[in-house]
Each structure stands twice: as C-alpha cells, then as structure tokens.
Amino acid sequence: MKKFGIIILAAVFCMALAMPAMAKVRVGGAVSYGWGYGNYDQDHMRNYAGGAFADEKTNIDMSVTIGTRLFASWINSKKTLGGEIAFNLVGENSAASGLTEGLRTRFAYAWWQINPKVKLTVGQQWVMYSWLTAPQNNGVGFTGSSENAGYGNVGNDREPGIRLDVKFTDSMTVSLGAFAPSSGIARNQGSWNTADDETTSPRWEIMVTGKLGPFTFYPSYMFGKIAYEADLSDTMTQQLADNDLSYWGFSLPVKASFGPFDFSGEYNTGENLGNSSLWGSWPNVGGGVPGVVGRPLAEFGLDGSGTGRRMFYDAEYDGWWVQAKYKAFKKMSIQFIYGEEEVEMDRFGLAADWKADRDMWMIQFPITLQPFFFLTPYYGKFDLGSLDFNAATGAGTAIPAGFSLLDGEPLGEVTVYGAGFWIMF
C-alpha cells in the first residue's frame, strides 16, 4: 500500500510539472515535527487507564505530525479553472495521536470560476462549518489527540463534497455545500451497526463570509440525518420509534487585526455533533464510564412509552474558544488560547441524565527562525472537568461505577509543554 501511494504521488507531481507553461503550477510541501511532554495527573490516569490506584505520569512525544504534507496545484492562464492534490505524510511515531503511519489524502479538488461572482468547487476540500481552527501548534498527540483540537473547537475538516460560492458584494459571499454524510454510530445501539444505515441525504452546509472594518465573520449552519432500516434479525431495530438520527450545528467564527494585535474566536452549538463526522476535541472517557459518555454522540434507549420502543436521545453541545496574539518583536509573537465546552444529555427520566464540561488554556511563542522555518515553544493545561450524573428514581443502576450521582468526580488534568517545528518548501 505504501509503495502504491508513493507511485501515485510521483505521478501527480510529474503531471503538474508537465502542465502548459502559460498555466500557474506550484509544487511544494511542509514538514511538521513536534517534541513535547505530557503530564497526566492521578485523576486522569484512574479514569482513562481504568486503574483505581494509578499514579500520575509524564510521557515524551517526538513525532512527524499529520501537518507534514506534499501538494501540487494548478491554475489556468485565464484563472477560470484550477485544482489541488495534496497528501499528508504521517510519521512512524504518530501512534500517540491515533494515526497510522503512511499517506493520507488531504485535498483532491478542482474549481471552476463560472463568472466573476460565482465559483464551483468539487472534490475533497475544506468543509464550511466551523471555519476557523484554534491555532494550537503543540505538534503532539497526548491522550489520543483529543487535546490537539482544543476544547470548544469543533474543527474545520476536509471531506468530499460540492460547494458553490456566490459573491454578492466585495464584503459578503454566501457559500452552499453538500458533503459526504456521516455513518456515525449512536451509543448503546446494540448489535446493529452501519450495515443498517439507509442514509440517502448528504450533510448540508451554508456559510456567509462578511467583512466589517477590521472584522471578518464566518457564520455557518450545518444539518443532516442518519437513517436506519429495521433489521428483522435484531429486536432492537424492530422497535425503533424513529428511524432517523438527526444532527445540526451553528457556528459563529470571527477574526480581526489591529496593528501588532491579532484576535480570533469561535462559538459552536448544536445537537449530536459527534455523529456528524466532523473532527472535534471529544475524548473518550474510559475507566468506569461506559462507551463514550462525555462526547456529543446520540444515545439509543427506551422512549418512555412502556411498550419497549426505542429512540435516540440527543446530546447537546456548547463550546467556544478565543485566541489573542501580540507581535512583540520582529520575529517573535506571544499567543494565548483559551477554550471550554459542555455536553449534556437528557434521558427523559429513564436513566441517569449526564453533563460533561472541560476547559483548556495554552500560551505559545511563534518564532520565525528564517523565512519558511518556524519554531513554536508552548505550555498548556487541559482540565477534563467532570461528569455529573443526575439519576432518576429507581435508575441508580444506570450510574457508571465509581461516580457519584450529583457531584461527579474530576476526570483529571493534562499538562503539555514542548516545541513544534514547521518548515515549508
């Protein structure tokens, strides 16, 4: 597989170099390398490693991260057609990030500028929901990469789809998109799985890009559903009260610059965002907590009718992050990032309702060693918060072992520090 990927990659670059001389062709890449440390406190080790007597620990992570890439792009002489193909190269020691060594498709899209105001893009490209990304540069993947995203950051991702941009004015563009639907699985759904997936609709997205003075806004909305077909061999799917699992999200990103100061931030809210296939900072809580409680995934359970019928419980999400950067010197900036998020589920009194919250902060120092060669030392702390359970009468057996009913217990903290290197060519 690796050899095949290398052959494909070589062919792409040969084709790019063979393009007509009048076209604009660019071939390049970047190397992203991280050298960092992660300290896990005792609460974190107990809940994630599942050991009641676990002690805190510190690990080193030295990885060629997924930011490493090769790309080739092309634009015709009239600037009406273009495209890009790019691959991420995941290094050998990236297993801590939950990634497999090898090539991963980053981009594979083409665009057509139909007229000065309308543009069509097809292929694997940036999705529009949650347009900005918390600019962390720690380059490591502690606790299964959950901290890399940054809390409150749903995460702008790259997925196959089709997008139409309509420029109404110099300060406003409206974008519509349809992207590959998710096959996300709900918690506790039993023996049925994606084989019962009967989804026929894409995930729909809309984004407005607006400019007002030094501010740029990217409000966006996305929605979709996963349809399940009743499986005659599975009594659980036969009893579905509603065969559709719906998800939606609203995002309000904004950025601005004032001289040496740079600001950006984003607010995200929605239901069942974890079922949308979008990337997020949602760690899987282990230890005594079953499944993936704490992540914004829908859950499968009784509908309260007393007939044994089942339904999907919705997981509600609210999160936000903000960053501020000050260019203190010609080649060095000081940057601070803060984010928090909350996930909540109401199980209609049939079991224990739960709520999870967490927050993080990070300070980093982007340094330009020379053009296209960057170093970013960082230090940050991720508080995984707690899981608060509120049991209904007679539902005490639904409380995960090791957690109190009302107060919850701390899930621990992770402290990260080190440096990320970024070299472009």
* Angle value at C-alpha 381, between 342 and 48, nearest 5 degrees: 65
* Angle value at C-alpha 349, between 348 and 351, nearest 5 degrees: 105
Beta bridge partners of 271: 248, 316
Residue type at 149?
A
Determine the Cα–Cα distance for residues 32 and 101; give it in Å rounded to an integer: 14
The pLDDT tens digits of the residues spanning 341-350 come to: 888 887 765 5
Report the pLDDT value the prediction gives residue 345, as an integer from 0 to 100.
80
Is the distance from CB of 302 to CB of 312 less than 8 angstroms? no
Give mean pLDDT, residues 155-171: 91
Task: Report the DSSP pairing between strands 69-75 and 409-410.
Answer: unpaired
Is the distance from CB of 189 to CB of 235 less than 8 angstroms? no
**What one-character DSSP code corresponds to residue 314?**
P
Report the pLDDT value the prediction gives residue 146, as an integer from 0 to 100.
42
- Distances from the Cα of 38 to the Cα of 64, 70, 101, 144, 180, angstroms: 17, 29, 21, 12, 35
* Mean pLDDT lowest among 180-184, 203-207, 262-266: 180-184
Closest CA to 106 of 156, 145, 69, 146: 69
Helix (H, G, I), strand (E, B) or coil at 7: helix
Q: What percent of the chain has pLDDT over 70?
A: 66
Determine the Cα–Cα distance for residues 91 and 400; give it in Å rounded to an integer: 37
Where do the domains of the chain lie, and which CATH numbers do they carry?
A: 28-63+108-424 (2.40.160)
Query: Would you state the torsion angle of the CA atoms of residues 396, 399, 400, 403, taken in this order, to the nearest 10 degrees?
Result: -100
* Mean pLDDT lowest among 84-93, 192-201, 382-391: 192-201
**What one-character DSSP code corresponds to residue 228?**
B
Those residues with Cβ within 8 angstroms of residue 10's Cβ, 6 or more apart along the chain or in another chain: none
The pLDDT tens digits of the residues spanning 316-342 come to: 999 999 999 999 999 999 999 999 988
The pLDDT tens digits of the residues spanning 282-323 come to: 554 443 343 345 577 777 777 666 666 677 788 899 999 999
Report the pLDDT value the prediction gives residue 294, as an integer from 0 to 100.
59
pLDDT band at 52 (very low <50, low <70, confident <90, very high): low
Report the pLDDT value the prediction gives residue 206, as an integer from 0 to 100.
97
91, with CB counted inside 10 A (0-12, 13-18, 19+), is buried
Kindly state the tokens that stand for 119: 């543009």
Helix (H, G, I), strand (E, B) or coil at 2: helix
